[in-house]
A and B are shown apart, each in its own frame.
Chain A
Amino acid sequence: MTRRVAILGAGPAGLAAAEAALSAGADVVVLDEGERIGGQYWRHHEQLTDRRMQHQHARFARLGRVAEAATVHREASVWRVDTAHGIRVHALVGPADGSDREALTIDADALVIATGAHDRALPVPGWTLPGVITAGAAQALAKRDGAIVGERTVVAGSGPFLLPVADSIALAGGSVAEVVEAAGVAAIARGWGRAPWQLAGVAGKAGELAQYAGGLLRRRTPFRFGQAVTRIHGQGHVEAVTVQHVDAQWRPVAGTERTVTCDSVALGHGFTPRLEAAIQAGCDLSPERFVVVDDRQATSVASVFAAGEVTGIGGADTALAEGAVAGFAAAGGSLDDRRISGAVRARKRMHAFATRLATHAIGPGWTGWLDEDTIICRCESVTRARLSEYAAASSRAMRLATRAGLGACQGRTCGRTVETLIAADVDFDRRPVLSSIRIGELARLHHAEHKEQE
């Protein structure tokens, strides 16, 4: 009998998994909450996306054609994954946050979890002002909607992702006042200058980055290293930011403050994996909190595989390679098979590239730029001072008393930050319901299930 492989997520990892699983002869079902396939890297809209923002289109076009041989459910928000008695995935299908979406249940022999990541943005005094968005939001709005949030944007945070973000803002008609990278020149030279032959192996990626850097030069956009946006100013909306030097631990250096006029800020300090589906499936996590996988991308749960940003932050090319291996293995293929050897080699090269991202890891000194009244939990407007009152209490007591992490986003935005500030793990990633779902919809599903059993 043909093996059925369910794939959660239609980003680079999920699409590569679908392609490989099909090539190994499986029956493939892909689910994604987005209106279109492509995930974060290939976020697009047929009429609105400026083609210059779309990289590796040939690969995407091929994956799109391949996906036609699979069953692809778009606008399918997966809210539950069961693995106790075989694999069963529950989704609601319909427009985002609609009130009467349709229930969909998929049974499968194997599951590939490729749910990706979202931006991590560290709190900064003033970061709740309209005009402050995440770096990923700037990218998503530019790509998907052809929209910009302001006329003059400061792009700040850390990591190579800031480059495409600055590029997209400019292509969408905005201007970038400066790009502010917290990692210092010395750290970057150490991290990226060492073993350049490893970069040669990922020529595609290096070429893409060089192209963005060229854009910055052409537009004369200043690029600052070892600096950070430590305060955002404005009455009712962004008017300026303070940019300041930070040391190797990201501690702000007094006396180095500069004011930069702008009407918007894009903040990105790395990425947080979207782990809730993997946790619900029962997959083991590493101490760094990524899904643990073996050579076959198999998780600790039988027949459950994982690929892409959920297994470690490595970008689109890493996700593509891991996805291919995961899909092939999930379909029952062996890694000795010639059809998958290219992906296995690419994965090795890309992992060497991914380790360099550690250069941009968040330094503990950033908390030095917070004020007592800086909002940490945006949903419930919980300040740092309020969190500190409960630093010694159990995490549960802290959550209940302050409501931090109990708001609409369920700690997706502030979870890791709250854990840093109270110096304890709170396990925000364990969520009983995986995506936004209305109480009414849940009640209707419950009702339908009971009827079925009667």
Chain B
Amino acid sequence: MSVRIRFDGEEIAGRDGQTIAGVLLGAGRRSWRLAGGAERGVFCGIGVCQDCVVTVNGIENVRACQRTALEGDVVEREAR
């Protein structure tokens, strides 16, 4: 069972039920956001630090570690 999302214009497959962070990590991606010009990814893993935020289907600031990936989700990087 797998789930596919789009990230950076690429299709990425993960296991059904994984969070967006889980799918990205499973595909070997460890960072997906810029903060003060440097790459960031997951840090606290439980929704507290906000380091992992991405834009999902046009909605900004979604915590990748908290949101379950759904088939066809379009995930975009954020920068601040």
Binding site for B on A (CB under 8 A): 33, 35, 40, 45-48, 95-99, 118-119, 128-134, 136-141, 144-150, 236-237, 375, 378-379, 381, 407-409, 412-413, 436, 438
Contacts and interface: CB of A to CB of B under 8 A. Distances in A.
Contacts, number: 128
Nearest to B61: A97
Contact of B44 (A131, A137, A149): A137
A97 B25 contact: no
A408 B21 contact: no
Interface string B43-62: 11111111101000001011
Nearest to A438: B61
Contacts of B26: 145, 147
B30 to A, nearest CB: 4
Contacts of A149: 25, 30, 42
Interface of B: 1, 15-19, 21-22, 25-26, 30-31, 35-36, 38-51, 53, 59, 61-63, 65-68
Given A96-B67, A133-B43, A137-B44, 16 more contacts: A40-B46, A45-B17, A96-B66, A130-B31, A130-B41, A131-B30, A140-B46, A141-B42, A146-B18, A237-B31, A379-B49, A379-B50, A413-B43, A413-B49, A436-B50, A436-B63
Given A137-B43, A378-B49, A47 B25 contact: no
B35 A378 contact: yes
A376 B62 CA distance: 23
Contacts of B30: 130-131, 149-150, 237
B59 A97 contact: yes
Given A147-B18, A149-B25, A408 B50 contact: yes
B48 A409 contact: yes
What are the nearest 8 A-B pairs in CB distance?
A137-B45, A145-B22, A381-B36, A96-B66, A408-B50, A130-B31, A140-B45, A97-B62
Nearest to A46: B17
A145, A381, A407, most chain B CB atoms within 10 A:
A145
A148 B44 contact: no
Contacts of B18: 48, 145-147
A47 B45 contact: no
Nearest to B32: A130
Interface class of chain B by DSSP: loop
Contact of A412 (B17, B36, B49, B66): B49
Given A48-B17, A96-B62, A136 B44 contact: yes
A254 to B, nearest CB: 29
B45 A141 contact: yes
A95 B62 CA distance: 10
A409 B51 CA distance: 8
A134 B15 contact: no
Given A141-B25, A145-B25, A413-B48, A47 B43 contact: no
A236 B31 CA distance: 9
28 contacts: A35-B68, A48-B15, A48-B22, A96-B63, A98-B59, A128-B38, A128-B40, A129-B39, A130-B41, A132-B43, A134-B45, A140-B45, A140-B65, A145-B18, A145-B26, A147-B22, A149-B30, A236-B39, A378-B43, A379-B50, A379-B51, A381-B35, A408-B50, A409-B48, A409-B51, A413-B43, A413-B48, A438-B61
Contacts of B43: 132-134, 137, 378, 413
A139 B25 CA distance: 14
B68 A95 contact: yes
A312 B67 CA distance: 29
Contacts of A148: 25
B22 A146 contact: yes
A409 B50 contact: yes
B23 to A, nearest CB: 8
A232 to B, nearest CB: 13
Contacts of A408: 50, 53, 61
A98, A144, A407, most chain B CB atoms within 10 A:
A144
A413 B35 CA distance: 15
B59 A99 contact: yes
A34 to B, nearest CB: 9
Nearest to B18: A145
Nearest to A118: B48
A150 B43 CA distance: 13
Contacts of A138: 45
B43, B50, B68, most chain A CB atoms within 10 A:
B43
